[in-house]
Structure 1
């Protein structure tokens, strides 16, 4: 069994560690493992076996059959593609071509961008038949995209982009035990390969220059004075996004001891007859609390619930996860160890996860000695323990200089959205094709994220969003403590242990 996990090491830091280079994964696996993935190129490249191929002009798109692909059309003519599971402005999943043409307006890429801003869900939009070619991500970047500017290729994985020359591996996978420092491929577009970047949320890929360009936010976020109105919008938007998935059929949804899944459960109250709630059995302290609290919630609230029992991962399982995620899963030890456990879910049903819900309380994770302090990139790197490698500092400085906002809490929000949810959550959705029909994040929604970021930081820091949304939808859920097992076998064990400690202190 896989007793160790993989992290990342630079060449000078390898020492005597057991390592595996990224290019070796291409020798161990092939594209049949890349379920639901794709590649876009200006020149035709050999299509992976069993994949579909389409072309618009000189642009070639190849994709696995598990990935939904619709056309963007202008007066009936295809001008691009939408990949994934987008939710349109009406609140339904898009399942047909998306028409943007109109005799009353000039159709250009900027117009399409404004339409996409109203979408939610998991998608990438590729526009190649209008004035300027671009590739856009959903609001949280939940469908990961990497690209090689030199080869003019965009793809879901670094391993779908050919190795043009030897020595392109930036980092090696190193075997060991955690904890590990934050891995640099998560940050500022860096990947395990020198010639490949990943595209952050809030940026489009200019397919003429092959550069990432920020398109949101364009100006400082305006903070609201009407908290109640925003909370009503947030509640309805989360419910709407969950409903769009549930309307496709039976659905599975995450349930843990934490706030994020409890918030989603409250918003989904009227939909629970079509949802099976699931909790992974992970053999650590947090995992045991998740199972105990989730069981208590399910029993008390009478919802359908299933514990996905632990299945130990083999070395081969973990290597396959690294391959499927383009190397990005090296950032998360729990995701590596749970790869086989996840296969105990139902692959015929979508899976709704809480990634991005941290935006409801992001100021909790951000401590400022002086709230009037102006942030610098050095301070940001220091606060989050980023490795101060030259490429991280250089890319971080470029990212920071491009921000059109000064408020420190807004900067911290944008950092989390672009460098955490996009760089981690977007690629992790490729990692477990045996676990669900597709993975869906209800918080991947530009308008929802804007609304949350408009709330006063003090309100979010005091868990106002979580408490007010749950109170308005299912107040009984607040009677069960967050992240603390007070019932069941593990709850009994924790209570007995606390009692024993008190007795011993006397």
Structure 2
């Protein structure tokens, strides 16, 4: 028997007491995972959302019932796409119109994971899909080691650590009738912004509105680091900064820059900042964290996840995940729109070792991708093969806080991908948003303590983690 743990769900054909019935399936959810009914503008039920969606149209965290402002007229993909333009937050939509098969639509980063086996059902991770015996028997230790998942690796392209268990990628829908997977967004090339400066202003307003709405109604902390994405959060928080709470994990080599620059920022802007000491989890706690993710990710998040347990449980955490989409994370200086995207090149850009199965999967993904520029396809690959299977795979690992990343929404992603190629190549879009919202905080450097200190920090990290250097070289040469 499989126990559905906190922040996990399981969808099976077997009737379960207390489960939500959806199109002949039964949905079990653990603690910390809400189930929200979705109703179209005619009053028709269209399934449920699992998670913590934010209603952008009403500027509020969704309640137990979400009334979307669109009418379902028989095309599920079109209806869901229109509705997702009004949503942010972490959610998974089990679409049920009462006539067709149940369909599973993830949010733009698939923050609430979907792993599946047609013989068993659907779940958050293999931990909530397989019983203990099957979990051990189907674990692919060789694949796990090959991709370095115990360190900083992950499984792209729908792969998982278990034989026969697949992961649903962002922007793809799973049909529970035949377990076929298909893309539902985008369906063609991405369109540049007619007015890039207006797009910057829209992104600032989009992030600021979410932060203010959550901070006014829920216990909330806002991430503050040395990086540009949390600096963007700070600029977007200007109207509430005096009464907001900001948090920084301090201590250790990798956090030294965060510790010092975040402290300078807090002093400069008069912020109420709380410094959290870096807490190392026990080996048993690390293993439990990794197990909850289905052994699909590990890295520093597993080792240090207890650092945030000093914050009151259930607090909303505003984070900067998603900003990398607007700065060409996988691009190289010589890349342009005509770049031919090949599977082996993608693997190298990911910093992962070459692998025949992964190469075949990525080749199939490229062949089925919408027609767009090579640069946009790299960004799509980053979202679907990095952020979904790596960042979002951490979701069930720890249930302490409720995370909201305001830049992880269809609206924000579309705005970032519409910005000029030059801005995205330079990685300066966040700077433009910050200068629009709170220009004075740009006097504090981003991610830098000066040439000498930065160089010494990089050398120290390289010495302690040579595998990271190998991964970096793969990315540079790919």
Same fold (TM over 0.5): yes
Give runs of aligned pairs for residues 27-106 of structure 1, distance below 5 A. 31=3, 34-44=5-15, 52-73=18-39, 78-88=45-55, 89-99=57-67, 106=73
Alignment partner, residue 8 of structure 1: none
Among 129, 133, 153, the residue aligned to 1:183? 153
Give the alignment partner of residue 392 of structure 1, picking from 347, 358, 365: 358
Q: Secondary structure at the match of 1:62?
A: strand
Query: Following TM superposition, by how much is the alpha carbon of 1:173 offset from its aligned partner in structure 2, in angstroms?
Result: 9.2
Equivalents in 1 of 2:293, 2:425: separation in Å? 33
Q: How does 1:60-459 map to 2 (within 5 A)?
A: 60-73=26-39, 78-88=45-55, 89-99=57-67, 106=73, 109-110=76-77, 112-113=79-80, 114-132=82-100, 133-151=102-120, 153-162=121-130, 167-171=137-141, 183-185=153-155, 187-284=156-253, 286-330=254-298, 332=299, 334-362=300-328, 365-368=331-334, 372-434=338-400, 436=401, 438-459=402-423
CA drift at 1:427: 2.4
Please state how far the C-alpha of 1:479 moved relative to its aligned partner.
0.3
Shift of 1:238: 1.3
Q: 3-state SS of the aligned residue for 2:33?
A: coil
The runs of 5 or more residues in structure 1 that have no matched partner are: 1-25, 499-506
Contact 1:202 1:216 in 2 (8 A): yes
C-alpha contact 1:184 1:387 (8 A) present in aligned 2 = no
**Which residue number in structure 2 is paired with residue 464 of structure 1?**
428
Tell me, yes or no, if the aligned pair for 2:32 and 2:399 is still in contact at 8 Å: no
| Residue number in structure 2 paired with 1:484 | 448
Contact persistence 2:321–2:405 (CA under 8 A):
yes
Alignment partner of 1:90: what SS? coil
Larger Rg: 1
Relative to structure 1, the CA distance from residue 226 to residue 173 in structure 2 (aligned partners, 3 Å threshold; closer, same or farther) is: same
SS in 2 for 1:65: coil
Tell me, yes or no, if the aligned pair for 1:159 and 1:323 is still in contact at 8 Å: yes
CA contact (8 A) 2:203 2:415 kept: yes
Query: Per-residue deviation at 1:362?
Result: 2.1
Instruction: State the SS of the aligned residue for 1:329.
Output: coil
For residues 189 and 365 of structure 1, the distance between their equivalents in structure 2, rounded to whole angstroms, comes to: 22
Change beyond 3 A, Cα 1:196–1:244: farther
Closer, same or farther in 2 for the Cα pair 1:453/1:418, shift >3 Å?
Answer: same
Any idea what SS the aligned residue of 1:343 has?
Answer: helix
Q: What is the CA distance between 1:370 and its match in structure 2?
A: 5.8
Name the structure where helix makes up a greater proportion of residues.
2
> Which secondary structure does the structure 1 equivalent of 2:73 belong to?
coil
- CA offset at residue 116 of structure 1? 2.7
> For 1:293 and 1:131, how far apart are their aligned partners in 2?
56
Look up the SS of the partner of 2:211 in the other structure.
helix
Say if 1:139 and 1:101 are closer, same or farther in 2 by CA, change over 3 A: closer
Q: Deviations over 1:158-201 (max 9, x none)?
A: 1111359674222369899x99786352x001111111111111
Equivalent-residue separation in structure 1 for 2:227 and 2:235 (angstroms): 13
CA distance in 2, matches of 1:106, 1:369: 42
Deviates more, 1:470-479 or 1:359-368: 359-368
- What is the DSSP-based 3-state SS (H/G/I as helix, E as strand, rest coil) of the residue aligned with 1:221? coil
Does the CA-based 8 Å contact 1:221-1:405 persist in structure 2? no
In structure 1, the partner of 2:463 is none
Q: Distance in 2 between matches of 1:380 and 1:57?
A: 38
SS at match of 1:411: helix
Deviation (angstroms), 1:275: 2.6
- RMSD value, Cα: 3.0
Q: Deviations over 1:334-369 (max 9, x none)?
A: 212212323222213111111111112125753435
Q: Which moved more, 1:298-307 or 1:248-257?
A: 248-257
Question: Taking structure 1 as reference, are residues 497 and 366 closer, same or farther at Cα in structure 2, changes over 3 Å only?
Answer: closer
Shift in CA distance, 384/126, structure 1 to aligned 2, threshold 3 Å: same
> TM-score, normalized by length of structure 1?
0.81
Secondary structure at the residue paired with 1:368? Answer: coil
